Chains A and B, each alone.
Chain A
Amino acid sequence: MRRRIDVRRLTQYGVVVVVAVTLNFLLPRLMPGNPLVLIAGVDVGLLSPEDRAEIVARVGLDAPLWKQYLRYWGDIVTGDFGYSFRAKRPIVDMIWSRLPWTLLITGLSLIVSAVVGVILGAISAWRRRTKTDLGMLTGMISIESLPSFWLGMVLISIFAVQWGLLPSFGAVTQASDLVGWAHAWDIISHAILPVITLSILATPGVYMTMRYSMLETLGEDYIRTARAKGAGERRVLFGHVARNTIAPVVTVLAIRLGFAFGGTVIVETVFTYPGLGRLVFEAVSGRDYPVMQAAFLVFTAAVLAANLVADLLYPLIDPRTRTS
């Protein structure tokens, strides 16, 4: 019984992967525009048609679409995505050098927003319809509507330009030759503003989920039963409410973990942070097909993996979803 379900689930994931990979391949090519300017440089218009044909052939863009598609699958299997049209560097290297930075800021902000969001959401729900609840709710809704670039720029102008406390750009001080602790501080100080920005923006989502999930749980009959049988507040909260509340929050967080790999284009741009989001943004604006394909694949894999994690965690948290 169990095995059959696993096979079904595996097939589902397989289908999703094939569809996603196909979209990753097709979407860049369906966009108007042409990567030639990136491959050949700014003076592409000055090339003779023969020169142009030679360049297109060298990067394999002259092949029929189905051949290019098969080659993409070949790249996926071998893990070699070739060279970027733009940077003319191996794409795998580019992604590996960017991924840690992205994960540093998105991961930290995920943790911060999860902790803050869950705690505030719980407080809000526990004291529902009090001033505390209403105040927090209003505050969170206001925060959620902040544009991220604006928040980032405000933080830069206060902390970097006015007070000169924190660096406004980059992941490390360039050409600084710092080592050891100084290097670690350098990385931390560069990450603070992006992490604060991302955390502030991500908290309301977690808070809302937590608050509504908990409100729902608090309205359940078994909570009334627990109270009726004389359980203390503490026991009701931790023994009955918490466990039943946390499942939707875990789903939200797991999906966010998947998206964390995608980086955040806007925040990475505002802070000139060398993450994956900016790499993809640059690739999209220049029609750098191979980079787009490889980076989208990373996102696809991360989101699917996060889903899988959520799927696997669910039965552990919520016995009702366990298969009999």
Chain B
Amino acid sequence: MSLVHPVVHRRRRSSRKWRLVALVAALSLVAFACGDGGEDTSAEEVTAAQAQAAAAQSDAAAAQSEAVSAQAEAEAAADALAQAQADLEAAQAAAAAAMEGDEVSQSALADAQAALEEAEQRATESAEASQEALAAAESALTEAEQMLDEAMMEQEAAMGPVRVRAAVTGDEASLNPYTYISGFPGWNLLMLQYDSLMQLDADGIPQPWLASSISVNEDLTEYSVTLVEGVTWHDGEPLTADDVAFSVNYYINNVEASRFARDLRGVEDLVVTDDHNATFVLAGPNAGFELGALADVPIIPRHIWEGVELPSEHDFGDTNIGTGPYKLVKYVEGQSYRFQANPDYFRGAPAVDELVVIVFADDAGAQAAIRAYAVDVIFERIPPEQIDLLDAEDSLDVILGPEFTTQMINYDASKRPFDDVAVRQAINLAMNRQDIVDTVFLGAATIGSPGWIHPGHPSYNADIGTVYDPAAANALLDAGGYLDSDGDGVREYDGQPMSFEIITNASDSLRLRIAELTVEMLAAIGIETSVAAVETATWEQAVWPGFDVNNGRNYDIAMWGWSAPVQADPLRLPQLVASVPAGGFLNLTGYVNAEMDTLSAVLGTEPDPAERNGILGRMQEIIAEDLPFVLLLYPDGAYVYDSTVYSDWEFIAGQGIVSKLSLLPPSARP
């Protein structure tokens, strides 16, 4: 702080116009002082301990090299011994030969005897030497091992527990099953505290988790689970099948948290057989129950939640607990979450001891922070233009993987001219997907299949091609009678120009750029469009009024995208493409197709997985032909992290890196 004084002093003497400059300088100095103040001591301690560890390590290395040389000596001695023995044999042979000779050659005998003695002596010597060397080598090795162990322990102590600071770009409220806000990363963070009966593995397939085994009856109506024994809640109480039954009933009876109530829709009864066994009895067959419910619903403790009336407004204080690998120890509204590892976690203690999740106001803030090494990972996808930039930073790495989010074009297929499949097909043919992937996403996206399902998904129908052919699109429109009769470059339908507004949300800059390219691509087939970039709530209200498809829609063309869960489970496809009365509650385009309705009705109840895949294959064909919407691309997931802090991130296909798997040691992952 002494540095500030000369500046203040100078400020007094200097002319008035320099006061501002001096003030800024003083502030910078203060900043300098405080910027340095905070972390120095601990940093120094760590550095010192690291140096010590390094010294111990080099000591150990020296001991090891000593041992190696001792061993070499021992080997040399052994060689000498062998040589001596060979000499001895030769001498003995010579002696025997000498003895046999009639003309006794005394001198030869004497020679032989001397040689024998010499050889014997040499052999003894080298045997001794070799033994000594061996002993020395052994002790050196033990010493080296000891030193290495010590060094490792010291280093571990110096590094302290592993602490990861993660950035998110939105507050997730108090993060209990009824308050978390976003599906991603809110639910993902919630599931650090809680466990579900199953857990997705790296391929996105549900694996046994809290349930050690799951068995299903033949017609997919009964799912029996056996719980892992010895699992405890964070307060030490044991987890039992009773908690599972309580959780299920609680979610069903408190619809506030739509997601879990919806997951469990169709559960008629939950039969608890004993402390560790229970059976879900479903109203009808449901092939998607494992992915949709068992791997999604967090199990909550009965002894805490019993009697909680309005869970979203209940103050749980420090009883917001689960069985998960982390316990949320502190939440500062709008600022941060602090998670501490649960050392007694049933799959093994987490590899990261403390996780601090910091809430940023926007992406740019989070990216600046990771460049300044003020956070260690960003729990949000980074935009394509940042991938190379951040990867180029010294200790930052970027992990890439498939994501099941989508960018697509929606249109109101219930009204002219989009009710004509030829118009929809023409739009599909006019879209140069590769161009969008290259120019907007700089390659960090996968070209969309017109049949909806991601090529990286097991249910993808590989027969469906993605064609870009504006000439064919023009031909289709010509054949359909959509002609440009007045020669203004815009086709007409029913006497009006084919001129539409593409509505999109201004907050998604990538989507906005796709919309702009779409305008050009549609212009090439004589459809005139303009982009209306509006605020998110306004856009949602136009495309999905009141979030209820029964309210219809107020747009011609809209850019749209679904979050990953909609695509991760192909059994949810009927929700998108079945007619509204047939359960298409995500059918935002007003699309109706009778065969699709029939297939939708049987998809979730078909017990045979191969048959189910067949149905999905056919549905994809119909979508690609009929185009209820035009799927453009699937953005790839890209996450940036500081590899010097923690690098064991696990990318779950379609989900990204924000999960308990990333924070558990590899041995504890499924």
**Residues of the B chain whose Cβ atoms lie less than 8 Å from the Cβ of A287:** 537
Residue count of chain B within 8 Å CB distance of chain A: 74
Are B255 and A285 in contact (CB-based, < 8 A)? no
Looking at the assembled complex, report how far the CB atom of A184 sits from the nearest CB atom of chain B, in whole angstroms: 9
Interface centre among A36, A40, A88, A98 (most CB of B within 10 A): A88
Looking at the assembled complex, report how far the CB atom of A60 sits from the nearest CB atom of chain B, in whole angstroms: 13
Are B31 and A270 in contact (CB-based, < 8 A)? no
Bound Cα distance A278, B334 (Å): 9
Are A168 and B365 in contact (CB-based, < 8 A)? yes
**Residues of the B chain whose Cβ atoms lie less than 8 Å from the Cβ of A38:** 181
Of residues 175 through 226 on chain A, the ones whose CB sits less than 8 Å from some CB of chain B are 175-176, 178, 182, 185-186, 188-189, 192, 196
The chain B residue sitting closest to A203, CB to CB, is B20
Does B173 interact with chain A (Cβ within 8 Å)?
A: yes
Are A33 and B538 in contact (CB-based, < 8 A)? yes
**Residues of the B chain whose Cβ atoms lie less than 8 Å from the Cβ of A83:** 312-313
**Residues of the B chain whose Cβ atoms lie less than 8 Å from the Cβ of A23:** none
Does A41 interact with chain B (Cβ within 8 Å)?
A: yes
Looking at the assembled complex, report how far the CB atom of A158 sits from the nearest CB atom of chain B, in whole angstroms: 10
Does A32 interact with chain B (Cβ within 8 Å)?
A: yes
Q: Which of B178, B312, B537 contacts A285, CB < 8 Å?
A: B537
Q: Mark A161-174, 1 if CB is under 8 A from B, else 0.
A: 10011111111111
Bound Cα distance A298, B583 (Å): 46
Are B256 and A40 in contact (CB-based, < 8 A)? yes
Does A74 interact with chain B (Cβ within 8 Å)?
A: no
Contacts A98-B334, A170-B358, A270-B361 given; indicate if A43 touches B183 (C-beta within 8 A).
yes
**Residues of the A chain whose Cβ atoms lie less than 8 Å from the Cβ of B548:** 45, 49, 52
Task: Identify the stretch in A11-19, A116-124, A242-250 within 8 Å (CB) of chain B at 4 or more residues.
Answer: A116-124
Q: Which of B27, B359, B362, B540 contacts A37, CB < 8 Å?
A: B540
Of residues 96 through 132 on chain A, the ones whose CB sits less than 8 Å from some CB of chain B are 97-98, 112, 116, 119-120, 123, 132
**Residues of the B chain whose Cβ atoms lie less than 8 Å from the Cβ of A41:** 180-181, 183, 257-259
**Residues of the B chain whose Cβ atoms lie less than 8 Å from the Cβ of A166:** 31, 34-35
Looking at the assembled complex, report how far the CB atom of B362 sits from the nearest CB atom of chain A, in whole angstroms: 6
Looking at the assembled complex, report how far the CB atom of A194 sits from the nearest CB atom of chain B, in whole angstroms: 12
Are B258 and A37 in contact (CB-based, < 8 A)? no
Q: Mark B9-36, 1 if CB is under 8 A from A, else 0.
A: 0000000110110011001101111111
Are B179 and A88 in contact (CB-based, < 8 A)? yes
Does B502 interact with chain A (Cβ within 8 Å)?
A: no
Bound Cα distance A36, B334 (Å): 21
Bound Cα distance A143, B22 (Å): 18
Does A25 interact with chain B (Cβ within 8 Å)?
A: no
Bound Cα distance A72, B585 (Å): 35
Looking at the assembled complex, report how far the CB atom of B284 sits from the nearest CB atom of chain A, in whole angstroms: 17
Bound Cα distance A86, B537 (Å): 14
Interface centre among B30, B35, B174, B586 (most CB of A within 10 A): B35
Q: Which of B313, B374, B544 contacts A45, CB < 8 Å?
A: B544
Of residues 408 through 433 on chain B, the ones whose CB sits less than 8 Å from some CB of chain A are none
Looking at the assembled complex, report how far the CB atom of B558 sits from the nearest CB atom of chain A, in whole angstroms: 14
Assign chain A's interface to a size class: 35 or more
Interface centre among B17, B32, B165, B538 (most CB of A within 10 A): B17
**Residues of the B chain whose Cβ atoms lie less than 8 Å from the Cβ of A185:** 33-34, 37-38
Does B283 interact with chain A (Cβ within 8 Å)?
A: no
Are A189 and B365 in contact (CB-based, < 8 A)? no
Contacts A38-B181, A40-B256, A196-B27 given; indicate if A89 touches B173 (C-beta within 8 A).
yes
Q: Which of A46, A160, A164, A167 contacts B262, CB < 8 Å?
A: A46
Looking at the assembled complex, report how far the CB atom of A8 sits from the nearest CB atom of chain B, in whole angstroms: 42
Bound Cα distance A57, B372 (Å): 47
The chain A residue sitting closest to B367, CB to CB, is A161
Of residues 259 through 283 on chain B, the ones whose CB sits less than 8 Å from some CB of chain A are 259, 261-262
Does B546 interact with chain A (Cβ within 8 Å)?
A: yes
Does B335 interact with chain A (Cβ within 8 Å)?
A: yes
Bound Cα distance A164, B586 (Å): 48
Are A169 and B365 in contact (CB-based, < 8 A)? yes
Contacts A33-B540, A33-B541, A189-B35 given; indicate if A169 touches B183 (C-beta within 8 A).
no
Interface centre among A32, A175, A196, A271 (most CB of B within 10 A): A175
Does A47 interact with chain B (Cβ within 8 Å)?
A: yes
Bound Cα distance A292, B476 (Å): 51
**Residues of the A chain whose Cβ atoms lie less than 8 Å from the Cβ of B516:** none
Of residues 1 through 48 on chain A, the ones whose CB sits less than 8 Å from some CB of chain B are 31-34, 36-38, 40-47
Are A268 and B255 in contact (CB-based, < 8 A)? no
Are B338 and A175 in contact (CB-based, < 8 A)? yes
Interface centre among B31, B336, B362, B536 (most CB of A within 10 A): B31
**Residues of the B chain whose Cβ atoms lie less than 8 Å from the Cβ of A171:** 335
Looking at the assembled complex, report how far the CB atom of A146 sits from the nearest CB atom of chain B, in whole angstroms: 15
Task: Name the prevailing secondary structure of the A interface residues.
Answer: helix
Q: Which of B173, B258, B365 contacts A271, CB < 8 Å?
A: B365
Are B547 and A32 in contact (CB-based, < 8 A)? no
**Residues of the A chain whose Cβ atoms lie less than 8 Å from the Cβ of B373:** 164
Does B563 interact with chain A (Cβ within 8 Å)?
A: yes
Bound Cα distance A159, B371 (Å): 12
Bound Cα distance A119, B18 (Å): 11
Contacts A46-B585, A186-B34, A278-B361 given; indicate if A196 touches B24 (C-beta within 8 A).
yes
The chain A residue sitting closest to B35, CB to CB, is A165
The chain B residue sitting closest to A186, CB to CB, is B38
**Residues of the B chain whose Cβ atoms lie less than 8 Å from the Cβ of A161:** 368, 371-372
The chain A residue sitting closest to B549, CB to CB, is A45
Contacts A44-B547, A46-B262 given; indicate if A87 touches B368 (C-beta within 8 A).
no
Are A54 and B547 in contact (CB-based, < 8 A)? no
Does B124 interact with chain A (Cβ within 8 Å)?
A: no
Are A159 and B546 in contact (CB-based, < 8 A)? no
Are B183 and A42 in contact (CB-based, < 8 A)? yes
Looking at the assembled complex, report how far the CB atom of A256 sits from the nearest CB atom of chain B, in whole angstroms: 19
The chain B residue sitting closest to A277, CB to CB, is B361
Q: Which of B34, B372, B540 contacts A164, CB < 8 Å?
A: B372
Bound Cα distance A69, B361 (Å): 32
Are B38 and A270 in contact (CB-based, < 8 A)? no
Are B537 and A31 in contact (CB-based, < 8 A)? yes
Looking at the assembled complex, report how far the CB atom of A235 sits from the nearest CB atom of chain B, in whole angstroms: 19
Contacts A182-B38, A285-B535 given; indicate if A123 touches B16 (C-beta within 8 A).
yes
Looking at the assembled complex, report how far the CB atom of B506 sits from the nearest CB atom of chain A, in whole angstroms: 11
Does A262 interact with chain B (Cβ within 8 Å)?
A: no
Does B364 interact with chain A (Cβ within 8 Å)?
A: yes
**Residues of the A chain whose Cβ atoms lie less than 8 Å from the Cβ of B544:** 45
**Residues of the B chain whose Cβ atoms lie less than 8 Å from the Cβ of A301:** none
Are A178 and B330 in contact (CB-based, < 8 A)? no
Does A62 interact with chain B (Cβ within 8 Å)?
A: no
Bound Cα distance A185, B39 (Å): 12
Q: Which of A33, A112, A120, A189 contacts B31, CB < 8 Å?
A: A189
Of residues 503 through 548 on chain B, the ones whose CB sits less than 8 Å from some CB of chain A are 535-538, 540-541, 544, 546-548
Of residues 149 through 163 on chain A, the ones whose CB sits less than 8 Å from some CB of chain B are 153, 156-157, 159-161
Looking at the assembled complex, report how far the CB atom of A151 sits from the nearest CB atom of chain B, in whole angstroms: 13
**Residues of the B chain whose Cβ atoms lie less than 8 Å from the Cβ of A274:** 333-335
Are A175 and B336 in contact (CB-based, < 8 A)? yes
**Residues of the A chain whose Cβ atoms lie less than 8 Å from the Cβ of B34:** 166, 185-186, 188-189, 192
Q: Mark B350-381, 1 if CB is under 8 A from A, else 0.
A: 00001010111110110011011110000000
Are A268 and B31 in contact (CB-based, < 8 A)? no
**Residues of the B chain whose Cβ atoms lie less than 8 Å from the Cβ of A186:** 34, 38
Looking at the assembled complex, report how far the CB atom of B480 sits from the nearest CB atom of chain A, in whole angstroms: 33
The chain B residue sitting closest to A31, CB to CB, is B537
Bound Cα distance A58, B254 (Å): 12
The chain B residue sitting closest to A35, CB to CB, is B537
10 contacts across the A-B interface (CB closer than 8 A): A32-B537, A40-B258, A43-B258, A45-B544, A86-B173, A86-B181, A161-B371, A166-B35, A169-B358, A285-B537
**A-B pairs with lowest CB-CB distance, top 8:** A33-B537, A189-B34, A174-B336, A269-B361, A165-B35, A185-B34, A42-B183, A175-B356
Given A34-B546, A36-B547, 9 more A-B residue pairs with CB atoms under 8 Å apart are A33-B541, A34-B547, A42-B259, A87-B171, A87-B181, A166-B34, A170-B335, A174-B332, A272-B360
